[in-house]
Structure 1
Amino acid sequence: MLLLSSDFTAVSSKAFPIVFLITIVSVSNALITALTAFSHSP
C-alpha cells in the first residue's frame, strides 16, 4: 500500500506540469475566442 502511495505521488508530480499546460492552453483559447468575438461584434 505504501508502494502504491509513493507511485501515485510520483505519477501526480509528473502529470502536474502537463495538466497545468493543458489548463493554460484552454484558458488562452477561451480568451482568444472571446476577444475575437468581441472585436468582430459591431
Structure 2
Amino acid sequence: MSNDFKSIKVENLYRLQEDIENFILRNQKQFNSLAYLKN
C-alpha cells in the first residue's frame, strides 16, 4: 500500500511538473512581449 502511495505521489509530481512547464511555455510569449514593450 505504501508503495502504491509513493508511486501515485511521484506520478502526481511529474504531472505537476508538466503543468508548470506548459504554463511557462504558454506565458513565455506574453513575458517576451512585456519585456519588449518595456525596452
TM-score of the aligned structures, taking structure 1 as reference length: 0.64
Q: Counterpart in 2 of 1:11?
A: none
Unaligned runs of 5+ in 1: 1-13
Q: Distance in 2 between matches of 1:40 and 1:15?
A: 37
Matched-pair identity in %: 0
Give the Å deviation of 1:15.
Answer: 1.0
Unaligned runs of 5+ in 2: 30-39
Aligned residues: 29
Q: Which has the larger radius of gyration?
A: 1
Segments ≥4 residues shifted beyond 6 Å: none
Give the Å deviation of 1:34.
Answer: 0.3
TM-score of the aligned structures, taking structure 2 as reference length: 0.68
Give the aligned CA root-mean-square deviation in angstroms: 0.6
